[in-house]
Amino acid sequence: MKKVLLTLLAAIALLPALIGQKYDYKRPAAIGISFVLNDFATPQYIRTNSLSATFRDKKWSKMGDMAPGIAVSYFKGLTNHIDFAGTLISSFANVPLNKQNNSDDKLLLEADASANFKMTTERYLFQPYLIAGAGAAKYGGYFSAFIPVGLGLKLNIVDEAAVFVTSQYRIPVTTETNAYHFVHSVGIAGRIGKKREEPLKEVIIPQAEPPKDRDNDGIVDSLDACPDVAGIAALQGCPDKDGDGIADKNDKCPDIAGLARYEGCPIPDTDKDGINDEEDKCKNVPGVARYQGCPVPDTDKDGINDEEDKCPNLSGVMENQGCPLIAEEIKKKVDYAAKNIYFNTGSAKLLNKSFKGLNEVVKIMKDNPDLKLTIDGHTDNVGKPEKNQVLSENRAAAVKKYLAGKGIEESRLTSAGHGQDQPIADNKSAKGRAQNRRVELKLDY
């Protein structure tokens, strides 16, 4: 840290020598008052972690978390590029000291003397500057020393007054009685003492014949590319009715703003779809912006665009959302197989008499490789609902396992259990309960 600080101070010290002093524009004496904010939390987080972590985690202090205060400052120019600044700050803050734990705000008094190394002289409206100096503080009976370094910006609003904004990083020399912290301030300073009068220089202006300007556009004929038509300086005295920066004499669309590469005309839209040709990948066919000017694609060429097609890679029909229709004969075979799935009572073990129908389903799935199958297990309301739920899931999974074992890819099979929650008959009768104990098979794409 000390090496970095010494390097910074050396660079600041060399700055005035590099800029030079051609004119005498030293700052007159001034008194300023400013509002300040003390921030102890952000430097602690930066030192504990890192500057990048502070920005990444957004751990910088908000204005409401900082300790406000008032400052009085005295300024006086030493050279054109160096000002002396003396400041006294008063605020109530909770300083995190190593010597004790603080829980309440206490009066913090800080006084410092510093040099402001200015990038410009008092001749200019804006004056950015670097700050370096030394200071002392008193807090709760403790005295400490610190080094203030930072940045500032002064705005000379009038000769007698200026607005200034600073941000300092205060480095404690005595870390037991002070802490690293930022001090941000904004204030106004007013000149004190008499204003320096600068001698007036006599300027002799030679009399010369005024240059000719036939079109009275403020551009002399010798520099006017259109001397008989009023124009603008940016176009060498030529007019530009549409304001596109192309002189009317070179503009093929003088009444419509355009681009130079289209000779003053707007970017064309050949297919009139509202997307100009430079952004349109299908500039001869109307399309939509989300497909860069091309129509919504229809991959399977079934007349149903991919955004509305449930089976975009498989030619189908509108009534089945773009998927092929499933033959009624196939549906009947699958429904028959579903009604003939049997298990041992209270078990998920398939009985042999279930296999004939399930084998027919296997054949249908192999003959139609794009089909998918949903397997839903259901029970009656005999027993506890939790056990019925598990039983329905296990029975559906058993059917899925059987079909997968016959060579059907598991990615084409989905199983789920619904317990006793979706009855299709009254559970009060044996017949109704038998209907509710079922496995449903549903084909889809």
- Which residue, 330, 332, 350, 333, is CA-closest to 342? 350
- One-letter amino acid of 404: A
- Looking at residue 9, its pLDDT comes to 46
> Which of 147, 166, 191 is a domain's end point?
191
Burial 302-331 (b: 16+ CB within 10 A, else e): bebebeebebbeebbeeeeebbbebeeebe
Residues 6+ apart with CB under 8 A from 411: none
Assigned token pair, 244? 């596109």
User: How many separate domains does the chain show?
Assistant: 2
- Looking at residue 157, its pLDDT comes to 84
- Which residue, 428, 164, 444, 220, is CA-closest to 331? 444
Burial 202-240 (b: 16+ CB within 10 A, else e): eeeeeeeeeeebebebebeeeebebbebbbbeebebbbb
> Which of 191, 223, 251 is a domain's end point?
191
- Looking at residue 309, its pLDDT comes to 80
Residue with tokens 């001090």: 183
> Which of 174, 191, 208 is a domain's end point?
191
Count Cβ atoms below 10 Å from residue 94 Cβ, excluding itself: 16
Beta bridge partners of 117: 82, 130
Residues 6+ apart with CB under 8 A from 303: 318
Residue 228 lies in a domain: no
The list of the chain residues with pLDDT below 70 reads 1-24, 98-103, 195-202
Residue 219 lies in a domain: no
Residues 354 and 356: their CA atoms lie apart, in Å, by 6
- Looking at residue 13, its pLDDT comes to 41
Q: Which domain CATH number covers 15? A: 2.40.160.20
Residue 170 lies in a domain: yes
- One-letter amino acid of 338: A
Residues 6+ apart with CB under 8 A from 125: 155, 156
Cβ proximity of 267 and 277 under 8 Å: yes
Q: Which domain CATH number covers 362? A: 3.30.1330.60
- Which residue, 179, 191, 216, is CA-closest to 122? 191
Residue 261 lies in a domain: no
Give the pLDDT confidence of 387-430 residue by residue, as tens digits.
Answer: 999 999 999 999 999 999 999 999 999 999 999 999 999 999 99
Residue 416 lies in a domain: yes
Q: What is the DSSP string of 154-197?
A: EE--SSSEEEEEEEEEEEESSTTT---EEEEEEEEEEE-SPPPP
Cβ proximity of 443 and 320 under 8 Å: no
Residues 38 and 71: their CA atoms lie apart, in Å, by 12
Residue 213 lies in a domain: no
Residue 216 lies in a domain: no
Residue 393 lies in a domain: yes
Q: CA 406, 409, 410 angle in degrees (round to 5)?
A: 105
Residues 216 and 231: their CA atoms lie apart, in Å, by 9
Residues 275 and 268: their CA atoms lie apart, in Å, by 9
* Number of Cα atoms under 13 Å in the Cβ half of residue 324: 13
Structural domain boundaries enclosing 150: 2-191
